[in-house]
C-alpha cells in the first residue's frame, strides 16, 4: 500500500492539470476529453482505495527518503526571561528550563531531569560553550548534526553546574504519508462518491457553459481531500485543506448567478476564518514541540503534562475544523453554499468535504495526537447535540429542496460528532490498557464512523436526486412540484431509498448506525442524549415525509406533463449509491471487520499511532 498513498493524490492532481491541456488539443469531433479523464481518474481512485483494504497494518511512506524514530532530543522546555546579553544578571543563569524529558528519548538517557536549566551547548571538539537563548535554538543545533552525534550541554541543577553528553536525535525532514484503518475508510468513501459525482456530471453539467472549467477544480478538490487524509503532518494537512477549499469556492459559484456568487463569497470568508484558527493552532504546536509531524507530537503527548498553550491550540483546532465541518455554532456558511452549487458538487461538499476537512482531522487530532480528556469530550458532545437538534429543526420548515438537505447535513454530522465525543469521554475516564479498550468506547467510535460512511452514501444520493429533479423540472421549490413518480419513476425510487436511509428506517443503512449510536450513548449513561437522538431521528422522518408528499406523490402539475426521466449516466450514478444504502446495512457483518473495525481501532489508543507510524 506504500505506493498507493502518493498515487491517491497524484492521480487527481495530474488529471486536474491534464484536463485543460486535453481540452485544447481535442479532436474536431468534440471528444469530451475532460469528462473521460475525470471519469478514468475517479475510477482509478476507487480501485486504489479497494486495493488498500488488502493490508491491515499501518503503512508509512516517507517522501524524500527521510525517516525518524524519535523526535529531536526528546525535550520540552520553557525559555527563561532575560534582558539583552550585556545586561543579563550573572547571578541568574539564562537558558531553557526543562519541563520534561520524554522517557526513552536521548534526553532521558543522558540523565536530564525536570527543572534542569540548559545554559550552553558545544561539540566535543569545541573549547567553549555557546549560549542557549531558546528551545528553538537548541532544536536547530540538534537538527544540524548527524543523528547519533554527541552534543555536550551545560546544565544548572540545584546550584551546581554539570556537563551532560547527549546524542543528537533524528528529526523528520521529509513528507510523511500515513495509511491506517481510518485513512483507508476515508479513501474508500472519497473514491466511491467522487466516481458517482463525475458520472452524474456527464449529463447534468451539459446545461452549464464552460465545462472545461468544471472538471479541473473538481479534480483539485478530490486531490485536496485525499491529501488531507493521507498526510502525516499538520503542515501538509493545512496545504491540502486549502487546495480543497479554494477549488470548492470556484465550484460553489460555478453558475455565476448572483445567488451562487454570494454563497461562494460567504463560504470563502468564513472558511478563511477557519483557516486562520487552524494556522494559529499549528503555530502554537510548533513553538511548543518543534515539529509538526503528527506521530512525533503524539510521542510527546503520551508523557506530557497539561499545558495551557496546548489547550489553546486545541481550542483553535476545534473552532477551525468545527467550522469546516459546519458544526453548530459554526454552521452559517453551509445552508447557502450547498444549495447554490451544482448537484454533483453539493454531493461532494456534503458527502465528502465536511468529513475530510472537518470531522476526520478533528478526530485524528483528539484521539491520536493531542490526547483525550473529559473537557474535550463535553465540547464534542455539546456540538454534536446542538448540531443534531438545530439542523433538523431548521430543515423541517424548509420548502427549498436543496436547502432542506443542507440543514440535514448539519444534523446528521451531529450524530457522528456526538458518538465520537462519547468515545472520547469513556477513554478519558477509562484509558485503554493491556486488557483492551472499554467496550462502550469501542462501540461509540465504531458507530460514529459507521454513520459517517452511511451519511456519505445517502446524503450524496439525496443531492443527486435533487439535481435530477431540478434538471428535468427547473425548480427545487417543493410547493411547485408533485406527482413526479408518474414521469420519473427511477429518480423517485432512489429518492425513497435515500429518504428512508437518512430517516433511519430498517433495513436501510441509516437505521443500523443510528441504532448503534443510541445504544452507545445510553450505555455510557447519557439517557437524555439517547432520547434526543431518537427524537431527532423522528423529526428527520417527518421532514422526509414532506419530501415524499410534495415531490413524489400528489398531483402532477400540468407544466410537467411532458418531462422525461433523467439521462442514463445520472440514473446509473444514483443507482450505485442506492445499492450502497441497502447493502451497507444488511451486509455489515461481512465488511465491518475489514473496513470499519480497523478504522475504529486506529482511534482507540494514543500510543498506538506513533508506534505504528514509526514502525511501519
Residue 31's pLDDT band (cuts 50, 70, 90): low
| DSSP bridge pairs for 63 | 175
| 312 and 341 belong to one structural domain | yes
Residue 50 in grid coordinates: 479497494
Residue 314, in any domain of the structure? yes
| DSSP bridge pairs for 605 | none
Give the model's pLDDT for residue 538. Answer: 94
Give the model's pLDDT for residue 68. Answer: 46
Q: Are 223 and 13 in contact (CB under 8 A)?
A: yes
Give the model's pLDDT for residue 574. Answer: 96
Closest C-alpha among 500, 511, 551 to residue 533: 511
Give the model's pLDDT for residue 91. Answer: 52
Q: Rounded mean pLDDT of the chain?
A: 86
Residue 404, in any domain of the structure? yes
Buried b (16+ CB within 10 A) or exposed e, 44-69: bbbebbeebbeeeebbbbbeeeeebe
Count of residues making up the chain: 616
Residue 252, in any domain of the structure? yes
3-state secondary structure at position 157: strand
| 326 and 458 belong to one structural domain | yes
- CATH for 82: 2.30.42.10
- Chosen domain end from 167, 193, 214: 167
Section 96-121 average pLDDT: 79
| 149 and 196 belong to one structural domain | no
Residue 213, in any domain of the structure? yes
| 179 and 154 belong to one structural domain | no
| 38 and 91 belong to one structural domain | no
| 308 and 400 belong to one structural domain | yes
Closest C-alpha among 596, 572, 613, 581 to residue 197: 572
Q: Angle at CA 531, nearest 5°, toward 526 and 533? A: 95
Q: Angle at CA 238, nearest 5°, toward 355 and 101? A: 105
Total domains in the fold of the chain: 2
pTM of the model: 0.88
Residue 1, in any domain of the structure? no
Residue 70, in any domain of the structure? no
Residue 57: which domain range? Answer: 9-65+175-615
Annotate 428-456 with DSSP letters as a single string. Answer: HHS--BTTB--HHHHHHHHHHHHHHHHHH
- Chosen domain end from 150, 167, 184: 167
Section 119-130 average pLDDT: 83
3-state secondary structure at position 131: strand
Give the model's pLDDT for residue 516. Answer: 96
Give the model's pLDDT for residue 199. Answer: 95
Angstrom distance (rounded) from CA 378 to CA 359: 16
Q: Are 198 and 222 in contact (CB under 8 A)?
A: no
Residue 535, in any domain of the structure? yes
Section 552-559 average pLDDT: 86
Section 226-246 average pLDDT: 93
| 222 and 300 belong to one structural domain | yes
Q: Which of 24-28, 77-81, 360-364, 501-505 has the lowest mean pLDDT?
A: 24-28
Residue 3, in any domain of the structure? no
Angstrom distance (rounded) from CA 43 to CA 92: 66
DSSP assigned state of 336:
H
Angstrom distance (rounded) from CA 236 to CA 282: 11
Annotate 217-282 with DSSP letters as a single string. Answer: HHHHHHHHHHHHHHB-BHHHHHHHHHHHHHHHHHHHTTT-SHHHHHHHHHHHHHHHHHHHHHHHHH
| 478 and 385 belong to one structural domain | yes
| 183 and 148 belong to one structural domain | no
- Chosen domain end from 135, 167, 199: 167
Residue 310 falls in which region: left (phi positive, over 0), alpha (psi -120 to 50) or beta = alpha
| 281 and 357 belong to one structural domain | yes
| 237 and 104 belong to one structural domain | no
Ranges assigned E (strand) in 368-504: none
Amino acid at each position: 500500500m506504500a505506493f498507493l498513498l502518493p498515487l491517491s493524490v497524484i492521480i487527481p492532481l495530474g488529471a486536474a492539470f491534464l484536463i485543460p491541456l486535453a481540452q485544447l488539443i481535442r479532436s474536431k469531433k468534440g471528444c469530451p476529453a475532460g469528462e473521460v479523464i475525470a471519469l478514468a481518474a475517479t475510477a482509478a481512485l476507487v480501485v486504489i482505495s479497494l486495493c488498500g483494504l488488502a493490508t491491515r497494518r499501518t503503512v508509512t511512506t516517507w517522501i524524500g527518503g527521510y525517516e525518524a524514530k524519535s523526535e529531536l532530543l526528546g525535550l520540552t522546555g520553557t525559555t527563561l526571561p532575560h534582558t539583552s546579553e550585556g545586561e543579563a544578571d550573572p547571578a541568574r543563569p539564562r537558558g531553557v528550563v526543562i519541563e520534561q524529558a520524554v522517557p526513552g528519548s536521548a534526553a532521558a538517557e543522558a540523565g536530564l531531569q525536570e527543572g534542569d536549566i540548559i545554559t550552553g551547548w558545544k561539540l566535543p571538539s569545541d573549547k567553549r560553550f555557546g549560549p542557549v537563548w531558546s528551545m528553538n535554538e537548541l532544536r536547530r543545533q540538534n537538527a544540524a548534526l548527524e543523528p547519533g552525534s554527541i552534543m555536550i550541554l551545560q546544565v544548572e541543577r540545584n546550584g551546581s553546574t554539570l556537563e551532560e553528553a547527549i546524542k543528537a536525535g533524528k528529526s523528520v525532514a521529509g513528507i510523511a504519508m500515513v495509511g491506517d484503518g481510518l485513512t483507508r475508510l476515508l479513501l474508500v468513501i472519497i473514491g466511491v462518491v467522487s466516481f458517482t459525482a463525475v458520472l452524474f456530471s456527464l449529463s447534468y453539467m451539459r446545461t452549464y457553459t464552460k465545462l472545461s472549467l468544471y472538471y479541473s477544480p473538481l479534480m483539485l478538490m478530490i486531490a485536496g481531500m485525499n491529501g488531507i487524509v493521507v498526510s502525516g503532518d499538520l503542515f501538509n494537512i493545512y496545504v491540502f485543506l486549502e487546495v480543497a477549499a479554494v477549488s470548492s469556492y470556484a465550484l460553489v459559484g460555478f453558475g455565476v448567478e448572483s445567488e451562487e456568487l454570494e454563497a461562494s463569497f460567504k463560504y470563502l470568508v468564513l472558511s478563511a476564518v477557519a483557516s486562520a484558527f487552524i494556522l494559529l493552532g499549528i503555530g502554537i504546536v510548533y513553538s511548543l514541540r518543534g515539529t509538526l509531524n503528527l506521530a512525533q507530537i503524539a510521542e510527546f503527548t503520551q508523557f506530557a503534562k497539561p499545558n495551557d498553550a496546548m489547550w489553546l491550540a486545541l481550542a483553535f483546532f476545534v473552532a477551525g475544523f468545527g467550522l469546516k465541518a459546519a458544526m453548530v455554532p459554526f454552521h452559517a456558511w453551509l445552508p447557502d453554499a450547498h444549495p447554490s452549487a451544482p448537484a454533483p458538487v453539493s454531493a461532494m461538499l456534503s458527502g465528502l468535504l465536511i468529513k475530510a476537512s472537518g470531522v476526520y482531522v478533528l478526530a485524528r487530532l483528539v484521539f491520536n495526537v493531542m490526547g483525550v480528556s473529559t473537557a474535550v469530550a463535553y465540547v464534542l458532545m455539546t456540538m454534536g447535540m446542538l448540531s443534531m437538534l438545530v439542523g433538523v429543526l431548521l430543515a423541517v420548515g424548509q420548502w427549498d429542496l436543496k436547502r432542506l438537505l443542507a440543514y440535514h447535513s448539519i444534523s446528521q454530522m451531529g450524530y457522528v460528532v456526538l458518538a465520537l465525543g462519547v468515545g472520547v469521554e469513556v477513554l478519558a475516564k477509562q484509558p485503554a490498557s493491556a486488557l483492551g479498550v472499554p467496550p462502550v468506547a469501542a462501540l461509540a467510535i465504531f458507530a460514529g464512523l459507521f454513520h459517517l460512511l452511511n451519511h456519505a452514501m445517502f446524503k450524496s444520493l439525496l443531492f443527486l436526486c435533487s439535481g435530477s429533479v431540478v434538471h428535468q423540472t427547473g425548480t427545487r421549490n417543493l410547493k411547485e412540484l408533485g406527482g413526479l413518480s408518474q414521469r420519473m419513476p427511477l429518480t423517485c425510487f432512489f429518492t425513497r431509498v435515500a429518504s428512508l436511509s437518512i430517516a433511519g428506517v430498517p433495513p436501510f443503512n441509516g437505521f443500523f448506525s443510528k441504532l448503534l449510536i443510541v445504544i452507545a450513548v445510553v450505555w455510557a449513561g447519557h439517557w437524555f442524549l439517547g432520547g434526543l437522538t431518537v427524537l431527532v431521528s423522528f423529526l428527520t422522518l417527518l421532514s422526509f415525509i414532506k419530501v415524499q408528499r410534495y415531490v413524489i406523490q400528489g398531483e402532477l402539475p400540468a407544466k410537467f406533463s411532458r418531462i422525461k426521466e433523467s439521462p442514463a449516466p445520472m440514473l446509473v450514478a444514483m443507482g450505485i449509491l442506492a445499492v450502497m444504502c441497502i447493502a451497507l446495512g444488511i451486509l455489515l457483518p461481512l465488511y465491518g471487520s475489514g473496513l470499519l473495525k480497523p478504522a475504529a481501532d486506529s482511534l482507540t489508543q494514543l500510543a498506538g499511532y506513533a508506534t505504528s507510524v514509526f514502525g511501519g
